[in-house]
Amino acid sequence: MKCLTLTAARPITRVTLRVGPDQGDEPGVWAALTAEEARELADRLLAQAARAESTAAAGPAAGATAGAAAGAGAGAARV
């Protein structure tokens, strides 16, 4: 993760997230989120991280089952 420095001359109204790398001369993909959307995304990411940690602690057999269940609806974040 790169260091983030905020030096805005005016109030910040959106949270930006770099989603994809630059493609040659074309800029990469970015998401501009409201504060509420950014908090919701953070909550979902933290929940997924907790599931991943608990699955890893349970062992490989549990990971296959939990991963399939989490993948059913977890990837549909509305951003």
Domain positions in the chain: 15-59
DSSP letters of the chain? --------SS----EEEE-S--BTTB---EEEE-HHHHHHHHHHHHHHHHHHHHHHHH-HHHHHHHHHHHHTTTT----
Tens digits of residue pLDDT in 34-77: 999 999 999 999 999 999 999 988 876 655 555 555 554 444 44
pLDDT for 1-18, tens place per residue?
455 566 667 777 889 888
Of 26, 21, 25, 27, residue with least CA distance to 2:
21
Residue with tokens 């940690």: 53
pTM: 0.55
Tokens matching residue 7: 């030096």
